[in-house]
Amino acid sequence: MREFAFIKKVSLFKLVLAFRDQFSDKDWASIEATILPNAQVPELYACLTIAVQRYYSKRTRLPDVTSLDDVVRLLRTSSRILVVTGAGISVSCGIPDFRSPNGIYARLTDYELTDPTDMFDLEYFKHKPETFYSFAKEIYPSNFQPSPSHMFVALLEHQGKLLRNYTQNIDNIEELAGVQRVVQCHGSFRTARCVTCGYAVPGSAIEADVFAERVPQCPQCPPSAELPIMKPDIVFFGEQLPAHFFATIDGDMAQADFVLVIGSSLKVAPVSEILRAVPDHVPQVIINRELLPHLKHHFDVHLLGNADTVVADLCARLGW
């Protein structure tokens, strides 16, 4: 870094661009909109500092965890497996993922959004809730059934091996699969509450509005209230993660003896930061459809392919 900045005189602007893969899509969109156009040294330096810290915090791969057979061995011998799941495990249920060519963000190009992520931005929701509710039925969990990947996580719990399942999904299918040791990092449609008074209702109370593409009104707020609308308890950009996440994550990272990621691009913090905080000696494996460029040197083993197919193969090898 010293060579590039002081000897080769590469600008901070170019150095920040070179570390683009160290930022989530949302963070990078903010950097592009507010920091790069102005190119002020303090802001660029702050971005570069974060990127460099993330880059050099990369773990060293474990020499004894390199193959599918090693993953099978870990599943057989581990007793405190921390599982992180993403949208990839629900695709076979009929629920679109976010970043594939036919995923949610691709579909959102039909809406008048500056950025597809605005659909899940809290301030944008408060400004134009009708936009979210014109789309919400696409992701509302109705008659979906658990996938083999969901059932694999449930099987780990049944075997007494699951420390915790941290899911980024909002479909609540883990509950249908029988997983109890689960943290819904990004919330779910299970409940909804008023953005003004906080009045909470079961998610089923707004289901008719969701499918009618209608903004549900708060039954407690007076009509004169500034924003008497209900919002599902899914975590939008600009909101804190549920308290349950922060209550369990530190202890779980210290206890985990194996980390398994299934079907996630790991681009949204703070869930994406879990991997960096787990002690380096703990094996880390990912099952995903494609290689993640920003984490290609992080995991001990990458099992690439359809998640349902991969977990079925693992179960066959384990005799489960």
**CA-wise closest residue to 78 among 275, 313, 276, 259:** 259
**Residues 261, 284: contact at Cβ < 8 Å?**
yes
- Spatial CA neighbour of 165 closest among 173, 305, 70: 173
Bridge partner residues of 258 (DSSP): 81
Residue 294 annotated in active site: no
Which residues touch 315 (CB under 8 Å, ≥6 apart)?
152, 155
Catalytic residue among 150, 158, 186, 244: 186
> Is residue 197 a known part of a binding site?
yes
Q: Is 315 labelled as part of a ligand binding site?
A: no
Q: Is 47 labelled a binding residue?
A: no
Identify whether the C-beta of residue 138 lies closer than 8 Å to the C-beta of residue 145.
Answer: no
162 has which bridge partners? 81
Displacement of CA 28 from its chain's centroid (Å):
16
Binding-site residues for Zn(2+), please? 194, 197, 218, 221
Binding-site residues, please? 194, 197, 218, 221
Supply the residues annotated as catalytic: 186
